[in-house]
Structure 1
Amino acid sequence: MPRSLSRRSKGDPNTGSSRDPLGTRRYPITRTLNAKNILVQETVGPHAIHNSKNKGVTLTRRKISPNSPTPRSSLVVESLSSQAASSPKAPPAAYSEVKLSDFAAAVFDIPPKSVNLKDVARNLATSSDYESTCRRFLSSLESTSSSTESDTIEEGFIDVLKLICRQCDPLGLPGASDFNPFAHPAYDKEDSEQSTEDQFVLMGMRRGPLMDTWSWADLLVAIDTQPADSSFGSHTCQQSAVKHPVLSRENGSSIDTKSHQDQSDSPYTLPSCASRLRRYAELVMTAKGNRRHVIGLLATGSNISFWYFDRGGGFYSTPVNLLTDAVEIISAVMQLALSGPISFGLEPFIQSSSSWEAFESVEGSCVVVDGIRFRLCKTLHVARELEGRGTVVFAAQKIADSARADGRSTIIPHDVIIKFSWQDASAPFEDLLFRRAQECAVEGIAKLYCSSRPARLSTGPRRALRLIAGIDYHDRELRVQVMGPLCIPLYRVKELDVFKLAFPHRSLYERAGILHHDISINNLMVEKDNEVKGVLIDLDLAIIIKGGDALQSQRSTLAGTLPFLSVDFLEGTPPERPMYRHDLESFVFVLAWILIRFDEEGEEADHDQLRTWYTGGRDQMKHAKFGFFRRSFDLPIGRFPSLGVLWLSKLCRNFHLGYSLRDRMGNTDFDHETLGGYVTHSSFLDVLH
């Protein structure tokens, strides 16, 4: 059997996607709260593949401390409560079972009328070649005497697929002969000595021959084999991108604070036998950021099922038998092989002159946003997750002769950033919040030039399958934003005076009445060409506190990035509404994170410090942060040591005094908004100035 992937991996070296669009460090470690609200760790597999000297496949992984958190994409929360579920609803990542014929009709292209796939399938199904090839594969399933014989399981299944795909050659359709299933031995490149336990067999389908150097982006179909007794029951293990019971902002608005992954009777749970296939699909989806979905093929013994993975989870076909249901399987594989790039998951909003080549690179492709054409230059950031928002950011350039569809004039610079994000369809529109901020002359915030919302999950194949949004799956909407200026993270600023000038201010709240609600090291930026100008980005979780209620739908107040979350949200009874001081508290935690964990070069050097801010239970994290307010001066400062005294210790003292006063007074006549007057915008600026 193929060895399971259990090690973290390195991002595709051609995309630079291990960092965010502005150089922010990202981590492949996913953390989540289990049923007891204890943080556990999941890992993801490899992202870059290179053939080895013996023509096997080498999987490279990222060198990273196992203690490094994911301050942005994995440690975000929308709820830490443990309320019981209300009415049954689809979880943020839902998987539905459908008939194979319905699956093929909804996902694959319809073959030309001149081609009768059923006739071809019947001829092959009754042939001795098909029966003997299937028998060899089924025989390999029964052989467990050695790892060498076990490896023929994958080769046997690939031989079956190759035989089916070859039936497309005589049809004379363009590109039919280029579709190739494959199986290759793979191992971890960083291991000095390759052992049997490090090896596994990687399977997939791609166009053209297997190259010496290639990546997950080349896979058009992810394939896995499992033993015949593999269960299609509920998968009870936490998935790397399904963060239950913590419902992250990537997974949409709060639906149910109880873990759906722990509900073994849930009809939407990912079957346990597909966990590795899902992990492969995640690697394919996140290779370049240009996929809307990933097709999978799973053999559980002699039973075959087809899979569709996207930002809402997906669906799969009822398993059918290689021998007794041969015609149905052969027809579906041939229809798949004859399908076009969109059916294989290429994002249709990205236009390319050569669609098949667009799988491997976005460079030179175009997108049209609000009637304006932009040329994509490269992928800057891909969120390392399958389900959820799946944020992707591209560097792009405006094409000179393009203009807005509505005729309005908009001054757009030549170099821009384009953000793709599959948001909860009912969530507030981030672009409207940016426009409100710009209308209110907010300073120090990213600028939105144009935006569009071109697609929803509910307008895709789920409609043809008659799956119901909100019941069978959680609907998401693709939101595209063109933004600027080009920035770099605040923590990369090397000059102390520049860092002090760039630290954020209150303009967003004062002028637009908006709380950012997710202050983290990844959302505090400076302009690339003028580092003294701080830039606040990402209004995905922003909340309008005063005015503009029409722009705001209901959203949980329990939101943010875990290491920088206010201690109020770690209480057993969280606050009923967010307050400005919560953002100020997050600023303090970000400042401490930069000063304590980063070195003078802006690199994260100490992964052990402040671990208690994101590990353990809620009470442990809360007490760790309270303790930090009391004794912040005890921790070593590696970055800008003078700010440890000038800023950090004084800000922490104000919060310590405020929370201590609240503990003494209780809720009677206490000013929670300012912690008894100790934490205000004025007191904050008094320290910074």
Structure 2
Amino acid sequence: MPESPTFTYHEVPLEDFIAATSDAPNGSETLETIAEEIRMSRAFDQALQQFVSALALEELATIKVSSASIFDMIFERCQELGSGGPSMGLSVESSPIVFQIQHHATILSNYFTDSEPTIAYQDDMETYQDHWFTEEFQEPTRPDRIPSSLPKWGDYIRAKATDAMARRGNRRHVIGVLVNHSNVTFWYFDRSGGFYSAPVDLVKRPCEVISGLVRLSLSTAFALGLEPAIEFPDPWRAFDTMESAAIVIQGIPFLLQVAVHISRDLEGRGLVLFSARKQDTSEHSTSLIIPENVMIKFSWEHVGLPRSDSLYRRAEQCGVHGVAQLFCSSTLGHLSEGPRTRLKHESRIDYRNRELRAQVLGPSCVPLYRVLPDRDFERAFRSLVEVHHRLYKNAGILHCNINMSSLMASKDSPPRGVLLDLDFAIQVQDGDRDLSPEPTFSGTLPFLSMDLLSAATPPPNRLYRHDLESFFYALGWILGRYDARGNPRMLHQFAAWHKGPLNDIISAKWRFMGVPSHIPSTRSSPSLQIWLRRLCRLFNGGYGGENQDADYDQETLGGGITFDTFMGAAPQIGP
């Protein structure tokens, strides 16, 4: 039986969409009456006429204002009902529903061919949205060869959904409304893609649009995407704050504190890492010994994929210090329990079901890129390369996803690195026995080896030096992408590492290692720059000699890329 698509988007009838996503109280006659009252109101008629005039003149600013006025009327009317929902004092700007209002010079068909670029007029700028794929992936196929079923006119609403999903790290899905010319579509996004309603013309069929918005306005916070596995004192405030959010894992209560890392991917694992504090367990019977301060990692994994719990235990059994310790874990839910299952049978399509896995880990950490001063950062980075090497040599485990969420440092001792996230890791050796795990194109684009980016299907076997190459890119990324306090810099030279066709990403990495010049950075340590330049030469030389000798050692790029050469390129650190 063929495997379901990785990420899918498909169209469903509007009534099916609303029935699947809304949990508004029953009473369709009352809801229809509200919709009709709004439709017949003078304020609605004026806003609609303003909207029609703006369409004729192609005035995007006026289109946005008039559309927002229409939607805000619905929120205000629902507020009068005392629903307690998103309409309570909220508007288009502050609703947990994401809105995207755009306009095309001509009324376009519902679908675009793959070869036809979409020009969306967004804040008076023309932007071509030709290439997108999730930044982190774990598939047997190159990401650029996974077909996208997202209509091109949905690019901007998807981008807003990505922002909403990453804002607090506490959403299971996102609901959106897209106004494209006069056509309105409703959208559902989750970690396996989503679905959207058939377009409805706001000018010709306003009651259908109003009715759909009324139902969503009267829905609960959880229907609009809030994660039900997390307990919130006020679910509506949870879209803006994680204050007092709590969760129970294996019967043990934890208070979630600060988001240490939130993945910006929409489709895929959506990894989120929180610092957390264990609560009073006197009422809960457990034999687990867990420190008071821990981290909790949430990630949406494909159902059926092996859990990484056993790899953490193997690392501990093999005496690999520096890998995060796993205390307990749990599965908290499945995508199949949500709106997808509530679609009518004829509106469903195959998709890859995912489950939300939570792991309680220690010690408490901070991201490597936030470690200060530079000497502590450099020591932490060195220790991470060493921990990774011990994990490979002593436990036979290859990490396969070195990135910003896996490179951490102990909060209490910042010079000590902590290696996290073994979800993509593979066991390549068991004692003296070599194992042959099935290779995949798993990893995170900015840090993925050029071997894997340029390889044809099937992917090549994963090598230790592929992870060393990821460490190399991670060092350059941190120096150029973050300021001295660990805050992202808006302008940096690495945008091409994760945007556009894969061939452009490969070219950008070639340029990076081919010209070992100074990387603009607010970190002042000269030894970091020296180490990076030497690594540039190492990898440039290794890849440059690849095709010159039939007996070339691919495992080490001719002996140039090993743990010893990587660490040997680092200048000595003083006491």
Give the TM interval when normalised to the shorter protein.
0.7 to 0.9
Q: Looking at both structures, which has the greater relative contact order when contacts are Cα pairs under 8 Å and sequence separation is at least 6?
A: 1
1:421 alignment counterpart:
299
Once the two structures are TM-superposed, the CA of residue 325 in structure 1 deviates from its matched residue by 6.0
- The alignment partner of 2:164 has SS state of helix
**Which of the numbers 348, 373, 379 marks the counterpart of 1:494?**
373
Structure 1 residue aligned with 2:165 = 285
Q: Could you tell me which residue of structure 2 aligns to residue 108 of structure 1?
A: 22
Q: Is the 8 A contact 1:372 1:402 kept in 2?
A: no
Asked if the contact 1:428/1:553 (under 8 Å) is kept, the reply is no
Distance apart, 1:607 and its partner CA: 6.4
Q: How far apart are residue 322 of structure 1 and its match?
A: 6.0
The separation in 2 between residues aligned to 1:298 and 1:636, in whole angstroms, is 40
Aligned match of 1:233: 111
Deviations 1:101-142 (A, max 9, x none): 322322222625xxx3226625863x6962755543442233
- Structure 2 counterparts to residues 337-348 of structure 1, below 5 A: 337-348=217-228
User: Retained in 2: the 8 A contact 1:363–1:377?
Assistant: yes
The structure that is helix-richer by fraction is 2
Residue 462 in 1 paired to residue 340 in 2?
yes
Deviations 1:217-247 (A, max 9, x none): x42323345569354324866999x995655
CA apart distance, 1:452 = 1.7
The equivalent of 1:527 in structure 2 is 410
Alpha-carbon distance in structure 1 between the residues aligned to 2:209 and 2:529: 66
Q: Does 1:141 align with 2:51?
A: yes
2:555 pairs with 1:673: yes
Alignment match of 1:510 (pick from 373, 384, 393): 393
SS state at 1:664 partner:
coil
Relative distance call for 1:321 and 1:526 in structure 2 (3 A) is: closer
Deviation of 1:351 after TM superposition, in Å, equals 0.9
- Whether contact under 8 Å (1:349, 1:367) holds in the other structure is yes
CA contact (8 A) 2:513 2:536 kept: no
State the one-letter code of the partner of 1:295: I
Say which of 204, 207, 220 aligns to 2:96. 220
Q: Deviations over 1:379-402 (max 9, x none)?
A: 343333433332222221101216
SS in 2 for 1:435: helix
Of residues 411, 425, 429, the one that matches 1:546 is: 429
Aligned twin of 1:183: none
Matching residue within 461, 465, 469 for 1:577: 461
Query: What letter matches 1:219 in structure 2?
Result: S
1:478 alignment counterpart: 356
Taking the aligned partners of 2:472 and 2:345, their CA distance within structure 1 comes to 46
CA distance, structure 2, for counterparts of residue 322 and residue 146 of structure 1: 16
Provide the secondary structure at the position in 2 that maps to 1:535.
strand
The answer to whether the 8 Å contact 1:134/1:323 transfers is no
Cα distance, 1:454 vs. partner?
1.6
Paired residue for 2:145? 258
Secondary structure at 1:541 match in 2: coil
Sequence identity percentage: 36
* 1:403 to 1:156, Cα distance in 2 relative to 1, 3 A: closer
Give per-residue Cα distances to partners, 1:81-107, cap 9 Å, x unaligned. xxxxx9896352x22222233223222
The Cα offsets for residues 316-373 of structure 1, whole Å up to 9 and x where unpaired, read as 2334466886765555444333322211221101112332333332211211112211
If the length of structure 2 is used for normalisation, what is the TM-score? 0.77
Contact 2:518 2:529 in 1 (8 A): no
Whether contact under 8 Å (1:396, 1:417) holds in the other structure is: yes
1:50 corresponds in structure 2 to: none
Counterpart Cα distance in 2 of 1:102 and 1:643: 56
Structure 2 stretches lacking a partner, 5+ long: 121-126
Distance 1:96 1:386 in 2: 16
Over the residues paired in the alignment, what is the CA RMSD in angstroms?
A: 4.5
Query: For residue 10 of structure 2, what is the aligned residue in structure 1?
Result: 96
Specify whether residues 140 and 399 from structure 1 end up closer, same or farther in structure 2 by C-alpha distance, changes over 3 A only.
Answer: same
Aligned to 1:207: 88
**2:99 partner amino acid:** I
What's the CA shift string for 1:519-549, capped at 9, x where partnerless? Answer: 3455333212123422122223322212399
The residue number in structure 2 matching 1:25 is none
C-alpha distance in 2 between matches for 1:658 and 1:675? 5
Deviation string 1:181-232 (CA, Å, 9 cap, x unpaired) is xxxxxxxxxxxxxxxxxxxxxxxx532266xxxx97x423233455693543
- Distance of 2:532 and 2:226 partners within structure 1: 48
1:571 and 1:618 in contact (8 A); partners too:
no
SS at match of 1:663: coil
What's 2:419 paired with? 536
Letter in structure 2 aligned against 1:121: E
TM-score by length of 1: 0.66
Distance 1:488 1:657, change over 3 A: same
Structure 1 residue 508, shift from structure 2 partner: 0.9
1:9-408 equivalences under 5 Å are 90-92=5-7, 94-109=8-23, 111-112=25-26, 116-118=27-29, 121=32, 125=36, 130=40, 135-144=45-54, 150=63, 153-154=66-67, 156-158=69-71, 161=74, 165=78, 169=81, 175-176=82-83, 178-179=84-85, 206-208=87-89, 218-225=94-101, 229=107, 231-234=109-112, 248-250=135-137, 254=141, 257-258=144-145, 260-261=147-148, 268-270=149-151, 272=153, 274-299=154-179, 304-320=184-200, 331-401=211-281
In structure 2, the partner of 1:33 is none
Deviation at 1:680, TM superposition (A): 3.5
